[in-house]
Each structure stands twice: as C-alpha cells, then as structure tokens.
Amino acid sequence: MTRLSVNINKIALLRNSRGGNIPDVVQFAKDCELYGAQGITVHPRQDERHITRKDVYALKDVVSTEFNIEGYPSPDFLKMVNELKPAQCTLVPDAPGQLTSDHGWDTIKHQSLLQEVIAELHANKIRVSLFIDPVNNLIEAAKQTGTDRIEFYTGPYAEHFLADKKNAIKDFAAAGKFCNEINIGINAGHDLNLDNLKYFQQNIPQLLEVSIGHALVRDCLYLGLENTIQLYLRELE
C-alpha cells in the first residue's frame, strides 16, 4: 500500500491569518495520525507564511509516524533538518517568496550542490527525496546524486487529468518504469486529490508515498478530518 503523508501547511496558514493558536497545528497532526495517516509533511518557507520554524521543532516531539520536512537546502534549512533528524527530507528548488512548488530540480545543472547536501543529510541518517519532473535524464542524474527517492511534481498530471487522463499519466508512467529499472524510490505530490489519486497510483508501480495537503484540507471542510483521511486511504488500497 502506498503511504499517505498529510501536508499540514494550510492548517498553519489558517491559524496565521488570525493569530493565536486556532487551529492548533500540532493537534491537527496528531489527529491525522490517529485517523490513519502514515506520515506528516511540512514545508517551512523563509517568510513563515504558514509553517514556522517553531512549528517544525514542536512537531518533531509529537509525530509518531514518518516526519517529512520539505524545503530548499539553504544553510538555515539544513541546520534545522540536521538538528531534528526527520525520517525524510524532501529537497525542492523553490525560489525565495515562491507561492508554491511548481517545478522539479534540474539535477544535471545542480548535481554538485545536491551531492553535497545529500551526503550531509545521509551522515545524519536522514532519507532524502528530490522533487523532480518526469524526465528520464533528470531522474538518472538524480540517481547519481545519491538520493534515496524522487518525488514526482504531479501538478501537470492533475491539471490535465479531467480532459485526458491517459495522456496526463503517460510521461509519469514511463518515468515511473524507469525509476524502477534503476532502483530509485518513488514519491509523488502536488494537486493529487480524491478524483485523480487512484488512477495515478494504479499506473505507477511501486509508488511508495504521496504527500497531500491543499486538496485534503479542502475536503476536510466538507467531509470532516477523520472521514477525509479514510477516503484518501481507501483510494490507496
């Protein structure tokens, strides 16, 4: 079964819009785990517009499943990750102030940077995943960095799913097959939801983990958190 990691950035964004501690980000993470989520994901950004550094440290003390910290490998980000030693660190190529992650690494151009960062994280026994587009030469270069996994940026898949799902999945299915051939783990995330999740998983053999936040939080507003977690897990069975 593919594991479900819940990205809780949007809960922090809602809290920050009003001040105080409602909703409680830490409690929300604990509830996600209680209702069956197999991981918690956070993506702290420089401006702390949602998840803050303080949140990340607080969550490390309570997350009992897999903790995944995403972010650009700036010195302050790496310092935090190496101190906390989460189960996984997902490296993303976001520019400062970027609204959301919308492309993967150029693993050829940034080969030496990524090799250095991944070696540092591995020294602290942290599994590493690289956010990437479904392009074989980029995946092959990712393998050469020493990363344990890649995480497919699935925004284009979600964007074109309703119009033509077979064409939308084509590049990802081919890239997923290549990942399996060269023995690199596969994660996925961005705009996956209850409509498109099962089809993606069915076409990506050995998909290890999906990270879902925005759509899952939206569904919680209508369906409730416990029910929503169960619905996503059902899609991944």
Write out pLDDT tens, residues 92-134: 997 666 556 667 899 999 999 999 999 999 999 999 999 999 9
Q: Where are the domains of the chain?
A: 3-235
* Dist. CA 197–CA 218, nearest whole Å: 15
β partners of residue 91 = 71, 130
How would residue 152 be classed by pLDDT, with cut points 50, 70 and 90?
very high
Among 3-17, 26-40, 97-111, which is the least confidently predicted range? 97-111
- For 3-235, give the CATH class: alpha beta
CA distance 154 to 131: 10
Residue 33 pLDDT greater than 60, yes or no: yes
Q: Residue 29's pLDDT is what?
A: 98
Q: How far apart are CA 175 and CA 137, in angstroms?
A: 10
Q: Which residues are catalytic?
A: 43, 70, 190
pLDDT attached to residue 100: 61
pTM beyond 0.85: the answer is yes
Question: Residue 207: pLDDT above 90?
Answer: yes
DSSP 8-state code for residue 95: P
Percent residues over pLDDT 70 in the chain: 97
Calculate the CA dihedral of residues 2, 191, 103, 237 and round it to 10 degrees: 10
Mean pLDDT of the chain: 95
pLDDT at 91: 97
Supply the pLDDT for residue 1: 85
Q: Of all residues in the chain, what percent carry a pLDDT higher than 90? A: 92
The pLDDT tens digits of the residues spanning 64-89 come to 999 999 999 999 999 999 999 999 99
Q: How far is CA 159 from CA 162, 163, 168, in A?
A: 8, 9, 8
Q: Average the pLDDT over 135-156 and give the result.
A: 98
Burial class (CB in 10 A: 0-12, 13-18, 19+), 54: exposed
What was the pLDDT predicted at 97? 60
pLDDT at 5 over 90: yes
- In tens, the pLDDT along 167-194 reads 999 999 999 999 999 999 999 999 999 9
pLDDT band at 47 (very low <50, low <70, confident <90, very high): confident
Note the pLDDT of residue 103: 78
